[in-house]
Amino acid sequence: MDNESLLRVKVILFDLDGTIFDIAERDAYARYQALNDLGYHVSLDDVRKRYRYGIGSMGILKELGIRLPEEREKDYIEKSFAHFITRENALNRTKVHNKAPDVLSTLSKKYRLGLVTSRDNLASTEEELNWFKIRQHFALIVTREVAARHYRLGQIPLLPFEEQRTKLYQCAIALLGMNPNEILCIGDAVGEIMPAKQLGINVIGVLTGFSSKQDMQKASIQTINHISELVQILNRKESCSQPR
């Protein structure tokens, strides 16, 4: 992003899992559970050893030498997500990325902050945010439930993923009443970020979740190593805007 684009930013939309939350243990456990549900008897330790930032949603399977039939990939993704969002996993296997609360606190003084997540239920999402004492930083939270209510739909399915994320960002834009070029979106996966970019939202990828730097570069998405670097980028914008 150039300084001119940064100067227009008034709202920052954050993804949650992988961006603000450190979900390595939680996601590894969910994938272990999903694979066993599907009849692949792998140990939790096998999954943990192979889990790393940037591995992607299907990377664990490749590392384990598992080739799912195409028709079962959808089952695997949906089962993993269902296990991921259980209350037990939420409260026992989740951490907040180091310095993330400080980043949110600092940025909330200068920008409106929003949260866009592919989780469905608003109440359980807010429960987690309150549990980690960061709910107060967000002026807007968009889940699939919130977007479905906005569009008067019964529900918005998790998959197809990018189609779902497009609806979430469109909902956020409408609720904020902002132009897309006044919004900055921060996420950890190309599949999360590209729908925002295609809508004209400014985007930055953070390398603490699903997509690797190479994946981000292929999609022409600027990256930072950690959410804490965002404050430095935005501070540079302000210093460049000062008259000399």
Tell me the pLDDT tens digit for each residue of 188-241: 999 999 999 999 999 999 999 999 999 999 999 999 999 999 999 998 755 555
Domain shared by 132 and 14, yes or no: yes
Domain shared by 226 and 135, yes or no: yes
Domain shared by 186 and 229, yes or no: yes
Q: What is the mean pLDDT of the chain?
A: 94
Domain shared by 204 and 162, yes or no: yes
Give the structural domain span for 204.
Answer: 3-22+95-241
Domain shared by 13 and 85, yes or no: no
- 129 CB-contact burial (10 Å; exposed 0-12 / middle 13-18 / buried 19+): buried
Query: What would the mean pLDDT of 46-54 be, rounded to a whole number?
Result: 94
Domain shared by 164 and 124, yes or no: yes
Whole-number Å distance between alpha carbons of 5 and 182: 8
Whole-number Å distance between alpha carbons of 213 and 226: 12
Domain shared by 158 and 111, yes or no: yes
61, 92, 123: which is the final residue of a domain? 92
Q: Is the pLDDT of residue 180 over 90?
A: yes
Nearest one of 139, 75, 58 to 104, comparing CA atoms: 139
Domain shared by 162 and 62, yes or no: no
Lowest mean pLDDT among 87-91, 99-103, 237-241: 237-241
Q: Tell me what pLDDT residue 244 has.
A: 47
Whole-number Å distance between alpha carbons of 43 and 35: 10
Q: Which ranges of the chain would DSSP assign to H, the alpha helix?
A: 3-8, 24-37, 44-50, 59-64, 70-84, 87-92, 100-108, 122-131, 144-150, 161-176, 190-198, 213-218, 229-241
Q: How many CA atoms lie within 13 A of 134 on its CB side?
A: 24
Percent of the chain with pLDDT over 70: 96
Angle at CA 219, nearest 5°, toward 161 and 240? 115
Number of domains in the chain: 2
52, 72, 92: which is the final residue of a domain? 92
Strand partners, 23: none
64, 92, 120: which is the final residue of a domain? 92
> In this predicted model, what pLDDT tens digit does every residue of 134-170 receive, in sequence order?
999 999 999 999 999 999 999 999 999 999 999 999 9
Domain shared by 160 and 235, yes or no: yes
Domain shared by 54 and 155, yes or no: no
Domain shared by 71 and 154, yes or no: no
Q: Is the pLDDT of residue 124 over 60?
A: yes
Pairing of strands 223-224, 21-22: unpaired
Domain shared by 123 and 16, yes or no: yes
Q: Is the pLDDT of residue 242 over 70?
A: no
Asked whether the beta carbons of 73 and 105 are under 8 A apart, the reply is no
Please tell me whether the overall predicted TM-score, pTM, comes out greater than 0.85 for this model: yes
* pLDDT grade for 4, boundaries at 50, 70 and 90: confident
Query: What would the mean pLDDT of 96-105 be, rounded to a whole number?
Result: 97
